[in-house]
Chains A and B, each alone.
Chain A
Amino acid sequence: MQSSNRERPARKTARRAAACVLTGAVLSLFGCGAQAGSREFRIGLIVPKSGPFAAYGGSHVEGARLAVAEANRDGGLLLKGRRYKVVLVEKDGGNSPEKALGAAQELINREAISALVGPILSGQAIPVAHLVDRAGIPMIVQIATNPAVTRGTRSVFRVCYTDDFQGVAMARFARERLGGRTAALLYDVASAYNSGVAAIFAREFAARGGRIVASETYTTGAEDFRAQLSRIAASRPDLLFLPNYPNEILPQVMQMRELGIQIPLVGSDAMSFSDPLYMAAIDGAWYGVHFSADHPTPVAAKFLAVYQDAYKREPDQGGALSYDAVGLLLAVARARQSVDPQEIAEGLRTFDVFDGVTGSIVFRGASDPGKGVVVVRMLSGKARFQTRIDP
């Protein structure tokens, strides 16, 4: 944490120097220089640990911790001949932007992080990205896919694809692989993610000759979707695109069954959620993910084994993305032989390709990497690999 601690140690040093002068101690230089003792690479992680998205946070924490544990296994990062212990500082981002901003402020101002991973919600990631960018701290967005997250920033990067590509990919899949000619949409208009993906899907689906026959919305926290679902059913679409979160999808699907509506479901990456009841509810649905345990690459296979060993279950995409996000930071720190935030940010700006467990993450100078969308289908409680759509 040599440089990530830049502000606070500097201030402490100044204070101690003043103390040295005041007391006239000759050993002040020794005393002042002694604080460089513990070297750490502090990485902040903002995930929801409370609120409606708390369930999502767990796998991200697991993935990130696994990456950190692996890095520390040999005594930490070896940079310029010195060992740096990698420290993961986790903060609850809750579900409000204010909460995430508070967490980010705390990590930056008080936890002296060198880099940040998260938050996972685009609604939080957008203001946090700007706050972090202003402080010059590198930030890896592991799963917030809204294009606005990295827009106008210099030190914010993503290891996932964006909604721009996800919406396009899923529209393509729905139109070309599923052969849908008409589609209906139901999404949270108050949520940046939901409305963003929905808009892109609709545009792309239409562009590929499809027709959006219904576009129903609701606002965050809504619980009754029957009216919207009834209108959708009335429009007789070939498929229903639900770019929503599982806590919304579950009541929506349940209410569809209640109403006897049977329309094939297509979802975005938010649809993925490891809950038996939920998975049963969305059985048969196609949705895009960031990672699939089927057909793993060697890197992914190794990750699967390690993860399985550590947590006794298969990793989901959150765990894999957070693992990659931390892995990317470690790789850049190694490449730059520094834990200085500026150095790491600069390293990310010039980073080429990261061979992550979620696939090759190709930056080539961009904040958002080119990365394929893995399309899976939930069948009998298991997400089965369908195809991979690359940009």
Chain B
Amino acid sequence: MRLFAPLRDSLFARLFRRSLLGRIVFSFFLLSSLIVMFLTVFSFWSFTRSARRQLVDQIGAIATIKAETLNRWVDEQTRQAMSIASFTEVRGDAAILCDAGARPDARMRAHQRLQAFFAALLLNYPEVHAVSLLSGEGGRIVFSTDAASEGQYRVLDSEFTEGMKRTSIQTVHPSPITLEPTMSVSTPVLGMDRATIGVLVVSLNLDSMDRIIQDRTGLGRTGEAYLVDRYNSFVSGARFGRANYPRGVHSDGIDAALKGRNGSGSYLNYAGIPVIAAYRWIAERDLALLVEVHQEEALRSAWLQTLLLVVIGFSLVLLLAFGVYHLARRIADPVLAIQQAALQVSAGDLDATAPVLTPDEVGDLAGSFNRMTVTVRGLYEELRRKEEHFRSLIESSMDIVVVLGADSSFSFASPSVERVLGFRPEELRTLSALSLVHPEDLEKCRGEYARLTSGAGDSVVLGFPVRIARKAGGWRTLEANARNLLAHPAISGFVINARDITERQQLEDKLLQAQKMEAVGRLAGGVAHDFNNLLTVVIGYADVLGTSTELNREAREGVEEISKAAKRAAELTQQLLAYSRKQVLQPRTIDLNSLLAGMHGMLRRLIGEDVEILTHAAADSKSVRADPSQIAQVIMNLAANARDAMPNGGAIVFETQNVILDESYCRRFPEISPGEYMMLAVSDTGCGMDEETKKRIFEPFFTTKGIGKGTGLGLATVYGIVKQSGGHIAVASELGRGSTFKIYLPVAAAERVAGRGGTADSEIPKGVESVLVVEDETPLRRMICMVLERAGYVVHAAASSEDVFPKAADLARIDLLVTDVILPGMNGKEIAEMLLPRHSSMQILYISGYTESAIGQHGNLPEETAFLQKPFSPGELARKVREVLDGR
């Protein structure tokens, strides 16, 4: 379509290129228009050619007729002049006038006669303009109807010179006198003697000739005929102003005619107007005759016919275009329908179908297209399902899946990221992954990133823990697996699969802590057992020694010191046991408010004057089940700890509260179960603790106090006791703002509140009952036996179950069985159960350094069970024995 190159960008050209229909219609239109135009041009050429020919024939005939008419007219005038000249009366009078020797009166009469004669003649012959008589002598005009010219000599004029010889015609020429076109016939006038005496010159009226020439019959509106003399001058001045043509008139026709040619042609006439003309050279008259018709008029009918043809032709073209349009529509519509469907499909509407409108190839095409769309739709559906499958896999994953660009920007983030980090996936698009990493992990991350991108290894990072910031603040620990897929065209990034392991990590930490504590406790427990035995012996003997009167004062003081140190050691052991939860608890249903109230004096003494004590007791306080002495120990330890945090004074607040720990709270602390708890909070206004300290405060032997100031077991003991009592301890502390320890103890099922039992009597009670002592530890057994014997009791001793039954079989009565809980072979409880059937009144007192499952779960003895914690002093033993025997 080079033809339309300049229109390439025009609307038309675009429509043309885009529209099939438009192209067909336009092409037909163009083609048929070209044909019509060709036909028009050909017809115009043909019409004008025939019109030209016809006209040339016509004006050629006219020209011939005019030339002949002109010649006939001139011949007629010639004959006329000759006949005039031959009139006798003219000849007679002429002879008189031409005779120089004639008498003047005769001349005058002759002149008058001629005047009358020619005046009459001129009236009858309008073709005659003037008549002159020239004398043979010098060509003098002796008579003329134009009186003014009489007397002139025309001796050299051809009218005269020729006329003297014979009748001659002076064809059209400018008169030497007037310069006007003139034609004259001159004929000799013969005297009576038949000699030439003069010349009669008859000037012809050129108007008559003009009328012949200018007769426009057959020449139409614009036609004209005219004569041109041999010098290109118009011969008729009447019609053509000579002044307009000072250089004569020129045209192809005039030039040709003046060269003596006859013919016809189309050219521009003397006035520059296109004409169709015929020209004749009338040799007899030395004149060119031109007959011209303006081409405009001549070809008007050709133009009109052509115009009609154009109108009809283009009407037919339009009709054809209309028809082609409808035909093309019928052909193109099915195609357009397919195109429409294809457009819909390409726009995404896969349900679009092309109507099968015709049974031909286009119909086949539509059918094929529809089958294709069905196939595509199936494939698309399959694809979509798969995509959805994988997408939902990703999106429903608890793990976070993200894709990072090479610059660590997020190019994809699974929805789970919002659940874990609080960021919506789209929010991450603007963030760099590294900006979310915990500062401490940043370097590690960069290292891993470098390793990933270096290409070393398999470009995979597995199980990489990293802390990532949450949107709301705080950190989550994620375990990330990363793979470098920068080279993968579909991903071109790092694919990171991360799992939130924050809780797991915390649990692991706690488990580790618990295991550590367990180990420490186990160790401590083991040591304490033996220690207790040893200390019981030491204390026992020291006490015995101390009461001996045989010692001097110095020795007695030494023994007391031993006793004191042993008791201190015993306390330590006790604490270790408490921490390791191996001590034997004697839980009672107690009211914390009462307990606190009872301890007020003691606390006051412990804390000192500088620190204020405030107590907020819960009004709806409920009972808890716990060993009151142990809880007292807890309170004492916490108070001491608080005091130590406030060297410059402050306040300690004791608070009890009835709380319910729900599931969510308990989830964070797996060792407790949801339910009703009593909370005991001990708050101080002291220096507080940092995070690191807070983590370790419950570790045994961890202390922030100076060497020798604390044992590092205070809080560990608290922890152990609370844990052993089924409770839970939480600490909140901020540096400089003080600390709060919250102890949660489960609310007791029943309301049986017991006060604290036992007395601290210094007097050793005595008895006479039969006591069986079973203790595998010989020094301890001997010490116990000694103390009891000295208190008056009948004491039988056995080292183990092997010993005890033979011995017991010998005894008629056993009032009390004092037995170690843990023994080689049968334990204390089993021994007791073996003995009870025979000695049904037998009381039982267990002694033990720590508890094992042998006695009670978690070392808790039934409330009615008598128990004496190792180490004990002789007094304590005696009082306990008495107490048990007395059934209290």
Report B-chain residues with C-beta under 8 Å of the C-beta of A98: 157-158, 170, 173, 176
A130 to B178, CA, bound (A): 9
A95 to B252, CA, bound (A): 33
Let me know if B571 is at the binding interface, CB within 8 A. Answer: no
A96 touching B177 in the complex, CB below 8 Å, given contacts A8-B250, A108-B247: no
Let me know if B242 is at the binding interface, CB within 8 A. Answer: yes
Report B-chain residues with C-beta under 8 Å of the C-beta of A105: 174, 229, 231-233, 248
CB distance from A354 to the nearest CB of B (A): 26
Q: Mark A15-47, 1 if CB is under 8 A from B, else 0.
A: 100100000000000000000000000000000
CB distance from A201 to the nearest CB of B (A): 19
A108, closest chain B residue (CB): B247
List the count of A-B residue pairs having beta carbons below 8 Å apart: 108
CB distance from A293 to the nearest CB of B (A): 32
Q: Mark B139-173, 1 if CB is under 8 A from A, else 0.
A: 11000000000000111111001000000001001
Report B-chain residues with C-beta under 8 Å of the C-beta of A112: 247
Contact A220 B155 (CB under 8 A): yes
A110 to B137, CA, bound (A): 37
Let me know if A275 is at the binding interface, CB within 8 A. Answer: no
Report A-chain residues with C-beta under 8 Å of the C-beta of B173: 98, 101-102
CB distance from B169 to the nearest CB of A (A): 13
Segment touching A, from B196-204, B215-223, B268-276, B817-825: B268-276
A136 to B242, CA, bound (A): 12
Report A-chain residues with C-beta under 8 Å of the C-beta of B247: 6-8, 108-109, 112, 135
A251 to B447, CA, bound (A): 150
Report A-chain residues with C-beta under 8 Å of the C-beta of B161: 96
Contact B250 A219 (CB under 8 A): no
Report B-chain residues with C-beta under 8 Å of the C-beta of A130: 179
B176, closest chain A residue (CB): A97
A102 to B176, CA, bound (A): 11
Q: Mark A183-224, 1 if CB is under 8 A from B, else 0.
A: 000001111000000000000000000000000001111100
Report A-chain residues with C-beta under 8 Å of the C-beta of B179: 101, 127, 130-131, 134
Contact B138 A189 (CB under 8 A): yes
Report B-chain residues with C-beta under 8 Å of the C-beta of A6: 247
Contact B156 A7 (CB under 8 A): no
Contact B140 A14 (CB under 8 A): no
Q: Mark B264-301, 1 if CB is under 8 A from A, else 0.
A: 00011010101000000000000000000000000000
CB distance from A31 to the nearest CB of B (A): 16
B161, closest chain A residue (CB): A96
Contact A102 B177 (CB under 8 A): no
CB distance from A386 to the nearest CB of B (A): 33
CB distance from A54 to the nearest CB of B (A): 14
Q: Mark B225-268, 1 if CB is under 8 A from A, else 0.
A: 00001111100000000110111101110000000000000011
Report A-chain residues with C-beta under 8 Å of the C-beta of B245: 7
Report A-chain residues with C-beta under 8 Å of the C-beta of B270: 11
Let me know if A319 is at the binding interface, CB within 8 A. Answer: no
A98 to B140, CA, bound (A): 17
Contact B250 A11 (CB under 8 A): yes
CB distance from B525 to the nearest CB of A (A): 125
Let me know if A176 is at the binding interface, CB within 8 A. Answer: no
CB distance from B376 to the nearest CB of A (A): 60
Contact B250 A7 (CB under 8 A): yes
Report A-chain residues with C-beta under 8 Å of the C-beta of B140: 190, 219
Contact B272 A108 (CB under 8 A): no
A101 touching B176 in the complex, CB below 8 Å, given contacts A108-B246, A108-B248, A220-B156: yes
Interface size on A, residues (CB 8 A): 37
Q: Taking chain A's interface residues, is the majority helix, strand, or loop, or is none over half, making it mixed? A: helix
Contact A190 B250 (CB under 8 A): no
Report B-chain residues with C-beta under 8 Å of the C-beta of A189: 138, 153
Contact A101 B174 (CB under 8 A): yes
B174, closest chain A residue (CB): A101
Report A-chain residues with C-beta under 8 Å of the C-beta of B246: 7, 108, 134-137
Report B-chain residues with C-beta under 8 Å of the C-beta of A190: 138-140, 153-156
Contact A219 B155 (CB under 8 A): yes
Report B-chain residues with C-beta under 8 Å of the C-beta of A123: 156
Report B-chain residues with C-beta under 8 Å of the C-beta of A136: 246
CB distance from A270 to the nearest CB of B (A): 15
Report A-chain residues with C-beta under 8 Å of the C-beta of B137: 219
Contact B153 A97 (CB under 8 A): no
CB distance from A140 to the nearest CB of B (A): 18
Let me know if A70 is at the binding interface, CB within 8 A. Answer: no
CB distance from A194 to the nearest CB of B (A): 10
Let me know if A106 is at the binding interface, CB within 8 A. Answer: yes
Contact A102 B155 (CB under 8 A): no
A15 to B229, CA, bound (A): 22
Contact A220 B138 (CB under 8 A): yes
CB distance from A233 to the nearest CB of B (A): 21
CB distance from A130 to the nearest CB of B (A): 6
Contact B139 A109 (CB under 8 A): no
Contact B156 A95 (CB under 8 A): yes
Contact B139 A102 (CB under 8 A): no
Q: Which of B157, B230, B250, B268 makes the CB contact (< 8 A) with A97?
A: B157
A188 to B137, CA, bound (A): 11
Q: Which of B139, B242, B251 makes the CB contact (< 8 A) with A134?
A: B242
Please provide the chain B residues from 1 to 50 with a CB less than 8 Å away from any CB of chain A in the complex.
none
Report A-chain residues with C-beta under 8 Å of the C-beta of B176: 97-98, 101, 126-127
Report A-chain residues with C-beta under 8 Å of the C-beta of B252: 15
A219 touching B153 in the complex, CB below 8 Å, given contacts A15-B267, A127-B179, A190-B140: yes
Please provide the chain A residues from 121 to 156 with a CB less than 8 Å away from any CB of chain B in the complex.
123, 126-127, 130-131, 134-137
Contact A102 B230 (CB under 8 A): yes
Contact B232 A97 (CB under 8 A): no
Interface centre among A97, A102, A109, A110 (most CB of B within 10 A): A109
A95 to B160, CA, bound (A): 13
A128, closest chain B residue (CB): B176
Please provide the chain A residues from 161 to 191 with a CB less than 8 Å away from any CB of chain B in the complex.
188-191
Q: Which of A95, A110, A127 makes the CB contact (< 8 A) with B231?
A: A110
CB distance from B691 to the nearest CB of A (A): 100
A4, closest chain B residue (CB): B247
A106 touching B231 in the complex, CB below 8 Å, given contacts A6-B247, A190-B138: yes
A-B contact pairs, 12 of them (CB 8 A): A7-B248, A8-B247, A11-B250, A11-B268, A15-B267, A96-B157, A97-B156, A101-B173, A101-B176, A123-B156, A218-B138, A219-B153
Contacts A7-B246, A127-B179 aside, 15 further interface pairs with beta carbons under 8 A come to: A6-B247, A18-B268, A96-B158, A98-B157, A98-B158, A98-B176, A102-B173, A105-B231, A109-B248, A127-B176, A189-B138, A190-B140, A190-B156, A219-B139, A219-B153
Interface residues of A (CB under 8 A from B): 6-8, 11, 14-15, 18, 95-98, 101-102, 105-106, 108-110, 112, 123, 126-127, 130-131, 134-137, 188-191, 218-222
User: 9 smallest A-B Cβ distances: which pairs?
Assistant: A219-B138, A190-B153, A109-B248, A105-B231, A7-B247, A97-B176, A135-B246, A220-B155, A109-B232
